Amino acid sequence: MSIFNTITFKSHDGLTLFTRDYAAISGTAKLPVICIHGLTRNSADFEEFAPWVASLGHRVLAIDVRGRGKSAYDPNPANYNPYIYTRDINTLLHDLGIARAIFVGTSMGGIIIMTLALQNLRLVGAAILNDVGPVLSPRGLQRIAGYAGRSKLVSSWIEAAEYVQYINQSAFPKNTPEDWLKFAKRTFVEDSKGHLVIQYDANIMRALRKKNFRYNKFIAKLAFMRLARYRPTLLVRGALSDIIEASQLQIMQVSAPKMQYVEIPDVGHAPTLMELEAQFAIERFLSQIG
């Protein structure tokens, strides 16, 4: 079990939000690293990655975006959008006195980073985009829409592991039963009555399905180019990804020729970032930033 301190803070609209804070191993001060999870995920996804980055000398903050993990659920589902998420992150970093950081974003987390770069580029020292970009494959989006926001009742950790395997088997074909159980324990939590409940608000999809928030491809491309052309950027992509397929990858590489890139074999959407190929590329990337 990795050791971290707990940070709670208030959003601009009064929600209590949660962050894991991993202290850097002593040494020369380096930029802090901010980790932001995917659409239906939470900060537990970084419970191995964050200590590893901390061992490289960086303080690491792994955020539970509103409506996920231990952060409060929003009574207004329309607030589940990248503009509000970036406002929450700005609040956290302002409260902590952090003026510049390296950002790591998986899937939705990467969209949040691109949005942040469009709004406040000075805050972004560098970025690692985990299997995400300004243009996303319809195939992957359709798959995610098929399960996101739809409640699933499970009565045991075995059933929970079977459920996460069912919806993620194509992304992690080499996972063992132990891997799926670990995945399940990052997805579900035991409530006060001993029931296993999924760790996100089912209403996160309402804003998307009702089109309260429109994914504007022009703005997304503008945000990506502003990030990748003006800040060091590394794209980590699963070779089996159905979110960043060959055509989406080509768009990114043509738009940002200086962007660094690593492909993770035998993994889809999205890499855990603990794969050896990812670790090697990320450690090299971080060493260039300081």
List pLDDT tens digits, range 221-272.
999 999 999 999 999 999 999 999 999 999 999 999 999 999 999 999 999 9
Beta carbons of 223 and 134 less than 8 angstroms apart: yes
Q: What is the Cα–Cα distance from 193 to 226, expressed in whole angstroms?
A: 48
Report domain extents, the chain. Answer: 5-137+201-289, 150-199
CB burial string 149-178: b at 16+ within 10 A, e below: beebebeeeeebbebbbebbeebbeebeee
Phi and psi based region of residue 79 (left: phi greater than 0; alpha: psi -120 to 50; beta: remaining): alpha
CATH 3.40.50.1820 fits 5-137+201-289, yes or no: yes
Total residue count of the chain as it appears in this document:
290
Q: What is the Cα–Cα distance from 281 to 70, expressed in whole angstroms?
A: 31
Beta carbons of 74 and 201 less than 8 angstroms apart: yes
pTM of the full predicted structure?
0.95
Q: Give 10-residue mean pLDDT values along the chain (290 residues).
A: 89 98 86 97 98 96 98 96 96 97 98 96 98 95 85 89 96 98 96 91 79 65 96 98 97 96 98 98 94
Q: What is the Cα–Cα distance from 200 to 189, expressed in whole angstroms?
A: 10
